[in-house]
């Protein structure tokens, strides 16, 4: 509940930063990343090794839109390639319908959140298709009045969609032996 409350109150904190003439991208990115960490613990895969399906990219103040878009595109295309490589079968097989299967299971839909100024833009990328391009699915503006709760819920929903996918494949994941967060000397 605390993690969700933090997202639902994010709009007010963003507006406070605007009033103080401060940049708010870092605050939004931090809150989304905190919610993602919570979702990984809630889903029970926080100690497992996995290729993410959700990417969050925050703009630097005054960064050109083309530059931040390229950063998000590059990261999501890299993850798509990682998913395809991880799921590629050693030999293609024919399924019961006579179709050729290249992957042990279909590579997932990837989700991206781009944060620039007070805006969050949600995009998807079909990692199963090497030729796929980013598709914009929604955008939200945290400086708009009376929609703070809806903006918070929108962020929560996209994170939970990613969490639910990871939970569906949790049995295929391995324990992450490189958990440096539990080693105080690391």
Residue range 89-119, pLDDT digits in tens: 999 999 889 889 999 999 999 999 999 999 9
Identify whether the C-beta of residue 156 lies closer than 8 Å to the C-beta of residue 33: no
Q: How far apart are CA 109 and CA 169, in angstroms?
A: 14
What mean pLDDT, rounded, does the chain reach? 92
Contacts of 38 (CB under 8 A, 6+ apart): 3
HSE (side-chain half, CA atoms, 13 Å) at 179: 11
* Mean pLDDT within 50-77: 94
* Mean pLDDT within 4-15: 93
**3-class secondary structure, 69:** helix
* Mean pLDDT within 77-95: 95
Backbone angles phi, psi at 126, to 5 degrees: -80, 105
For a pLDDT cut of 90, what percent of the chain falls above it? 82
**3-class secondary structure, 6:** helix
More confident residue, 141 or 2: 141
């Amino acid at each position: 509940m605390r993690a969700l409350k933090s997202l639902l109150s994010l709009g007010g904190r963003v507006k406070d930063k605007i009033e103080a003439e401060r940049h708010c991208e870092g605050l939004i990115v931090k809150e989304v990343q905190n919610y993602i960490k919570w979702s990984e613990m809630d889903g029970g895969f926080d100690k497992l090794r996995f290729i993410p399906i959700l990417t969050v990219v925050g703009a630097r103040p005054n960064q050109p839109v083309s530059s931040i878009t390229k950063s998000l595109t590059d990261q999501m295309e890299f993850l798509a390639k990682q998913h395809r490589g991880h799921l590629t079968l050693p030999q293609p097989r024919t399924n019961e319908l006579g179709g050729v299967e290249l992957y042990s299971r279909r590579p997932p839909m990837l989700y991206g959140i781009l944060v620039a100024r007070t805006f969050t833009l949600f995009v998807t990328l079909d990692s199963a298709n090497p030729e796929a391009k980013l598709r914009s699915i929604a955008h939200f503006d945290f400086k708009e009045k009376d929609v703070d709760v809806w903006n918070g819920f929108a962020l929560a929903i996209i994170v939970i969609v990613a969490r639910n996918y990871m939970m569906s494949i949790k049995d295929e994941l391995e324990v992450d032996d490189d958990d440096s967060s539990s080693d105080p000397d690391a």
